[in-house]
Structure 1
Amino acid sequence: MITSLSPIHSAGESDDTLRIDPAIDRATGPQPVAKVDRIQTIDMIRGLALLGILMMNIPGFGYLWSMLPIALKTPGSADYYAFTIVGTAFEGTMRGLFSMLFGAGMVLFTMNKRESETGPTVAEYYYRRLLWLVLFGVINAYILMWRGDILFFYGLLGMTLYPFRHAKPVWLLGLAVICMGIGMFRTELWYGDLRANRAGYLESVRLEKAKKKPSAEQMKQKTAWEGFMKNRKPDAKKQAKELREMRGSYATVFAHLLPRNSESETYGMYFGGWDMLMMMFIGMALLQWGFFSNKLPNAAYALTLLIGYGVGLPLSWFYVKAELGWVLNPATIVDTYRTVPFQVYDIRRVLLALGHASLLMLVYRAAIVPWLTRALTAVGQMAFTNYLMQSIICTLIFHGYGLGYYGKLAYHQLYYVVAGVWVFQLILSPIWLRYFQFGPFEWLWRSLTYWQPQPMRRVQQETSVVSLAG
């Protein structure tokens, strides 16, 4: 999602291939990276992540979640297969890659830049860039009406990365493990409370059947468990209200989503920020190791692919089976597992994300489908525009002020929309970049970051502040 903005070597070139001219840099200050200086493989992987993340977002755009238990009730149905295949192979992995590349992109923004003798420092540009990203996230949530926006979170979390930009990979991975541990600890606390409520409920029922009176604590736990289960059951009145409001006017949809977006951007940061920050630290470490910049040997990518898929897919299948059980009847999960099975979520998504990225790197090196890797690279170079474009397209398809398809498609039919958006963006992005240096939102973001309009149209021969040695 975040494009790199530093004059850094292109894929396949050695570290001493490019040099900064200090005199030019002092005179001009930090500048956006020229297209010729971008790392193509980072854009390519970012393009894959951008398209893949729509697979996970699409139910949030157009599906009534309370209908999911009914959709998954029949094993072998199209909905069941769509849920299990997408969940096993992709759930969390594309957002994981997005977060990794965000961390890498924030390092690239400051890399090889020199402080200007007059004007803002690199740090000021860095934090200005992220403050604008937070604002874009607010716009995406409250104006474009996407309840699953991540720009707001990335902008805030990215502000914590700057002090670690020179940290060694081993320390970055240590920070990632700490973030994972905090998230897992919080999940375990929640699950422990849930198990206690379930145990209190079962004991209360047993005592009541025996004509005995449960304790006050047991009754409290019984009430809590019954409330938890009641909230998970489909409510026809609530469903009808949600469908009516989401298929209503812009003002009606805004009023419906306002409390949900507000809750997401407060509690969501508190509860969900750790996994994003974990992936950002991993991405920063992988950048230093050359994983994203095409610097590792084929054997390293092949080994990462085998480990990522060989361990990640079985873990992911276990996770999705537990997820199915949770959707259909969470009591069975609570009664079966002392530790919540969803604790494997972050481990599996790291493994699968690295597996997906390694597979794409090997395909790129083998030049098997060069037209596809070029198209993915263009999508990744315009990832900010394409991400917001997905919000615009999908909300216009599903919300009432557009076509009003919210809740009208079966779960598996949502992925027909995904395929259509993919084709559109894979075709449009390369065409756009034939004539323009940036996507429209990339151009706006860069212009706001540097507080001056950036050149938009492509010139016959692009120049750079970087001099090519040799």
Structure 2
Amino acid sequence: MQTINLSNEATKTRRITVIDALRGFALLGVILMHMLQRFGIFSGVRPDESLFPMLDEAIQWLSQNVIMGRFINIFACLFGLSFFIQMDSAAKKGIDFRKRFLWRMAILFVIGVIGNCFFTADILSIYAVFGIIMVFLFPLKNWILILIASLLLLGAPRALMTGYDRIVKTEQVSETSQPARRPAMSNTAKPSFINSAKENLTFKLQGKLNYQFGMYGRGYITLALFILGLVIGRLRFFEDVQTKQKRNIILFFGFALSSAVISLILNLIPQEPLNFRMLMTPGFDISFALLAVTALNDIQIVIFSGALALGFIVLYQIKSIGKYLDVLTPYGRMGLTNYEMQGILGAFIFSAWGFGAIFGTWGTTEVFALGLVVYAIQIIISHYWLKKFRYGPLEWLWRSGTYLKWQPLRKA
């Protein structure tokens, strides 16, 4: 394997670029998954008869077994890592960055709410809340942080909610077990961005919060990944990532093998008695078997995400491959801008008030290809933008808001 020989200063620069490139890689999976889900938007039309049935089936398998939940996990973990880098950098300068970071999260929350007007599953407002929690977790020792992350991954919040529900269960269960009805807004109101934003911030927001903090508990996995990102930062993993290539390869195979073993165990467990939809529907009794299998599935997905990230890092260290993967570095540096633009473009593409009448009829293969095209265009824009400017547009606004002072944008 041909590797890159670097000086100490160059190694430091390479360490930063691999983080940015990895973030860009994570956002590839994010946009592809959201495209396949049509950004959670139903425009009133349905896909036409499939033009590529076999390819559609292959892409659906890829989305379910490789993309869904995996790439966004990498994105979340890198947020925790970025939190550590900011806190550590400030500490080296003798600065207490905690209050500034809390303000920074308040700004991110606002950005997330605005993004949520376009795309109901925009995650930034949730990230902002977790970022505040991270400030209070920061003083804890690594073993305590790992313990908290482990409990979250094992489904402790889900188990506590199940126990609580069984204790306080009343006769109202029969009423609460009925899923909330979706307002028939699309039938009574003219499709428009305003109406779509209202729905995203009301009814769909309830579904989002249930998905994040209800029995499904996606938000608890995200918080665990934030914590693990912090621990990875403390262990200085990326500071010597270029010099410890053997370690990275061993870790990759370890994560890949662990993921495969857990996946095999899950496949041996009979799935028929387990109704996973119960996790999204209030009022149902959740069995211990379902709790255990869900926790095992969450752990498998997180470990798979680790294998993906390490596989990318290993490939990035190979000179002949890394020079091509490095094209993702500008994309990752503008991760906030690119993530938000994905949601905005998704709204325009699939909404009834946008081009939903056209793209809503596209099949799985077509929207997957469209996601790749959008991603490629964003890569090109990011590359040329950062040639002239220091930060992406949203990154610049966020940084300026953080310090309450306009930051220099254009390069000298």
**TM-score scaled by structure 1?**
0.70
Q: Is 1:450 aligned to 2:403, yes or no?
A: yes
Give the equivalent residue in structure 1 for 2:339: 387
| Comparing 271-280 and 57-66, the one that deviates more | 57-66
Give the equivalent residue in structure 2 for 1:251: 194
Mapping of residues 154-303 of structure 1, within 5 Å? 154-181=127-154, 182-185=156-159, 248-264=191-207, 266-268=209-211, 270-271=213-214, 272=217, 273-293=219-239, 294=241, 297-303=244-250
AA matched with 2:221: D
Give per-residue Cα distances to partners, 1:377-430, cap 9 Å, x unaligned: 111100000001101111111112321246423344331221111111222211
Cα distance change of structure 1 residues 391 and 13 upon mapping to structure 2, 3 Å threshold: farther
Q: Distance in 2 between matches of 1:53 and 1:446?
A: 24
AA matched with 1:279: L
Mapping of residues 306-455 of structure 1, within 5 Å? 306-313=253-260, 315-316=262-263, 338-340=289-291, 341-405=293-357, 407-455=360-408
Q: Distance in 2 between matches of 1:66 and 1:309?
A: 41
Give the equivalent residue in structure 1 for 2:66: 89
Cα distance change of structure 1 residues 255 and 138 upon mapping to structure 2, 3 Å threshold: closer
Give per-residue Cα distances to partners, 1:306-356, cap 9 Å, x unaligned: 12222324545776999997999979xx99993353322321122111111
Are the counterparts in 2 of residues 315 and 348 from structure 1 also a CA contact under 8 Å? yes
Give the SS at the match of 2:391. coil
Are the counterparts in 1 of residues 148 and 224 from structure 2 also a CA contact under 8 Å? yes
Give the equivalent residue in structure 1 for 2:281: none
Q: Distance in 2 between matches of 1:39 and 1:91?
A: 26
Q: Distance in 2 between matches of 1:188 and 1:67?
A: 38
Shift of 1:80: 3.7
Are the counterparts in 2 of residues 63 and 411 from structure 1 also a CA contact under 8 Å? no
Shift of 1:266: 4.7
Shift of 1:370: 3.6
Give the equivalent residue in structure 2 for 1:32: none
Q: Distance in 2 between matches of 1:322 and 1:64?
A: 34
Q: Distance in 2 between matches of 1:247 and 1:416?
A: 30
Shift of 1:146: 0.6
Are the counterparts in 1 of residues 70 and 304 from structure 2 also a CA contact under 8 Å? yes
Q: Distance in 1 between matches of 2:353 and 2:274?
A: 31
Give the SS at the match of 1:149. coil
Cα distance change of structure 1 residues 433 and 354 upon mapping to structure 2, 3 Å threshold: same
Are the counterparts in 1 of residues 32 and 368 from structure 2 also a CA contact under 8 Å? yes
| Comparing 427-436 and 442-451, the one that deviates more | 427-436
Give the SS at the match of 1:248. coil
Return 5+ residue gaps in structure 1 as ranges. 1-10, 19-35, 198-215, 460-470
Give per-residue Cα distances to partners, 1:424-464, cap 9 Å, x unaligned: 122221111111110000000000001111111122xxxxx
Match 1:152 to one of 122, 125, 150: 125
Are the counterparts in 2 of residues 304 and 358 from structure 1 also a CA contact under 8 Å? yes
**TM-score scaled by structure 2?**
0.78
Give the equivalent residue in structure 1 for 2:282: none
Cα distance change of structure 1 residues 387 and 330 upon mapping to structure 2, 3 Å threshold: closer
AA matched with 2:78: L
Cα distance change of structure 1 residues 279 and 139 upon mapping to structure 2, 3 Å threshold: same
Give the SS at the match of 1:159. helix
AA matched with 1:338: A
Cα distance change of structure 1 residues 260 and 80 upon mapping to structure 2, 3 Å threshold: farther
AA matched with 1:157: F
Q: Is 1:50 aligned to 2:27, yes or no?
A: yes
Mapping of residues 56-71 of structure 1, within 5 Å? 56-58=33-35, 59-61=37-39, 64=42
Q: How many residues align?
A: 387
Are the counterparts in 2 of residues 378 and 429 from structure 1 also a CA contact under 8 Å? yes
Q: Distance in 1 between matches of 2:355 and 2:90?
A: 47
Give the SS at the match of 1:438. coil
Q: Distance in 2 between matches of 1:318 and 1:307?
A: 17
Give the equivalent residue in structure 2 for 1:31: none
Are the counterparts in 2 of residues 141 and 261 from structure 1 also a CA contact under 8 Å? no
RMSD in angstroms over aligned alpha carbons?
4.3
Q: Distance in 2 between matches of 1:443 and 1:61?
A: 26
Q: Distance in 2 between matches of 1:99 and 1:82?
A: 24
Q: Could you tell me the percent identity over the aligned residues?
A: 21
Give the equivalent residue in structure 2 for 1:200: none
AA matched with 2:346: C
Cα distance change of structure 1 residues 400 and 129 upon mapping to structure 2, 3 Å threshold: same
AA matched with 1:309: A
Cα distance change of structure 1 residues 114 and 258 upon mapping to structure 2, 3 Å threshold: closer
Are the counterparts in 2 of residues 130 and 159 from structure 1 also a CA contact under 8 Å? yes
Are the counterparts in 1 of residues 38 and 350 from structure 2 also a CA contact under 8 Å? no
Are the counterparts in 2 of residues 115 and 122 from structure 1 also a CA contact under 8 Å? no
